[in-house]
């Protein structure tokens, strides 16, 4: 019985990991598609943000699996290519915007954190997508 339980736990972890990878791959595709519709960096970031929220509401199960314990740490991101690709898609336009602003001391992760905080505060946008996100 103990061997059976051990094997099944490994299989469950593997299945959950593969579903997490697929979720990050889908989210990265949606955000990249949204980004590529715009030339302006600010418009790209806004479109990506909206794609992120639409994904979260349309694919709740993936989202909960991907972010249920918060944002994955750096080591996890480095080990899972799908997470690294998602991270790069998120940070690339932020880095470009920082370079354009000539603010050499700015940190993309700080900017991303600020964007996360702003998204939590922006309840009207959240309500708009939670009411009927079909993207």
pLDDT of residue 127: 44
Q: Along the 135 residues of the chain, how does pLDDT read in single tens digits?
A: 455 556 677 778 788 888 889 999 999 999 999 999 999 888 998 999 999 999 999 999 999 888 876 566 666 667 788 888 888 888 888 778 777 776 656 555 555 555 554 444 344 444 444 444 444
Neighbour tally for 96: CB within 10 Å: 14
Inter-residue contact 118 to 94 (CB < 8 Å): no
Q: Could you give all domains of the chain from N- to C-terminal order, each with its CATH number?
A: 2-132 (1.10.357)
Number of Cα atoms under 13 Å in the Cβ half of residue 112: 15
| DSSP for residue 39 | S
pLDDT of residue 37: 96
Neighbour tally for 42: CB within 10 Å: 11
Is the pTM here over 0.75, yes or no?
A: no
The SS3 call for residue 103 is: coil
Name the nearest CA neighbour of 50 among 132, 131, 125, 127: 125
pLDDT of residue 81: 85
pLDDT of residue 133: 45
Name the nearest CA neighbour of 74 among 61, 87, 62, 65: 87
pLDDT of residue 104: 54
């Amino acid at each position: 019985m103990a061997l059976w339980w051990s094997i099944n736990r490994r299989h469950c972890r593997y299945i959950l990991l593969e579903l997490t990878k697929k979720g990050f791959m889908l989210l990265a595709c949606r955000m990249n598609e949204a980004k590529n519709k715009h030339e302006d960096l600010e418009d790209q970031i806004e479109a990506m943000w909206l794609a992120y929220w639409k994904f979260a509401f349309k694919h709740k199960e993936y989202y909960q699996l991907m972010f249920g314990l918060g944002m994955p740490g750096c080591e996890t991101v480095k080990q899972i290519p799908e997470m690294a690709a998602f991270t790069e898609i998120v940070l690339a336009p932020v880095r470009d915007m920082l370079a354009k602003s000539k603010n050499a001391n700015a940190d993309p992760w700080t900017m991303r954190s600020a964007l996360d905080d702003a998204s939590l505060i922006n309840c009207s946008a959240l309500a708009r997508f939670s009411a009927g996100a079909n993207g």
